Amino acid sequence: MRIRSKAPLRIGFAGGGTDVPPYPEREGGCVLNATINRYAYGSLTPRDDTQITIESLDFGISVNFDIQEDLPYDGKLDLIRAAIKKLIPPDSRGFDLIVHSEAPPGTGLGSSSTVMVALVGLLKEFANLPLTDYEIADMAYVIERKDLGIKGGLQDQYAATFGGFNFIEFLADRVIVTPLKIHLDVINELNHNFTLVYTGTTRMSANIIEDQVNRFTRGEEETLAGLRQLKEISIEMKNALLRRNLNDFGSLLHEAWIAKKRNSSKITNPHIEEMYETARKAGALGGKISGAGGGGYLMLYCEFEKKHKVAEAMKRMGGTISDFSFSRYGLQTWRIND
């Protein structure tokens, strides 16, 4: 018997940054995001002894240890070690574990958090734990952000767990996920009009997030105004989607990018700015760097008739066009018999 899992990566339209503590506790955050057909995968094969083997296909690293051993964090697959420590009791039997993500860390698609969600799903199936979607997302957040101290927000874990188009509110004492019933015509048009462009560089999101948090806690007016504006835009974008006003949606995406840059000077750089302005001149209505910023994927929204011109302009600047479509489902786990 083998256990499998997969969880989707996401793109954020607006509100990113308002999900990063301490902002939710103090003012309440909200984001609008959607999952795409890129995934983190996991596979677990139970063993008859107490040995655990872990293989990361992305990093080319394998580790082996006994489940009864204390699991020190040594920089080698600590995300996986932390998940095992949290969910698997020391008297359990061992297993062989393989993980893989279709997007490397630092690309802005929430890859590390999505891997954690896929892991939690895999391990909870192995341990027969009756966790709800909210509990899975919260556990993934706690392991990554609190147990390991990796800086970041909450939206990635909830997006990967629930899947689809979601408006997510982050309050002082709870998270509220509102799935949006986007008409199929709108989803098809979004698939036609969106493009992802890999800028050629990854980034350390923790450095950008730390700078934003420091600015917020110091009460810098520009960062405060940017975060509050992002909340308002995320609500407007949600309404534009539900009302099928996609030109408004594209324009608001541009406004969200302008507001996002107010949070930290590390979010953008001259190369990103040049790519974005070139895309706008070629016909893009709006766009933004996915994730914390600084590199990774630039997502652009343009009318389909101009999409090829935008793509050509991005290629001339060294960008790599990456096709995708929106994914309806969140975390999935299943079992197969050998």
Give the pairing type, strands 194-198 and 61-66.
Answer: unpaired
Class of residue 322 by CB neighbours under 10 A (exposed 0-12, middle 13-18, buried 19+):
middle
Residue 66: active-site member: no
- Which letter does DSSP use for residue 294 in this model? S
Q: Strand pairing partners for 29?
A: 170
Check if the beta carbon of residue 4 is closer than 8 Å to that of residue 337.
no
Check if the beta carbon of residue 152 is closer than 8 Å to that of residue 113.
yes
Give the DSSP letter string of 185-229: HHHHHHHHHEEEEE-S----HHHHHHHHHHHHHTT-HHHHHHHHH
Which amino acid would we find at residue 133?
Answer: D
Query: CB-side exposure of 96: number of CA atoms within 13 Å?
Result: 6
E strand residue ranges, 76-215: 95-101, 165-170, 175-179, 194-198
Selected catalytic residue, list 48, 70, 96, 156: 156
Catalytic site positions: 156
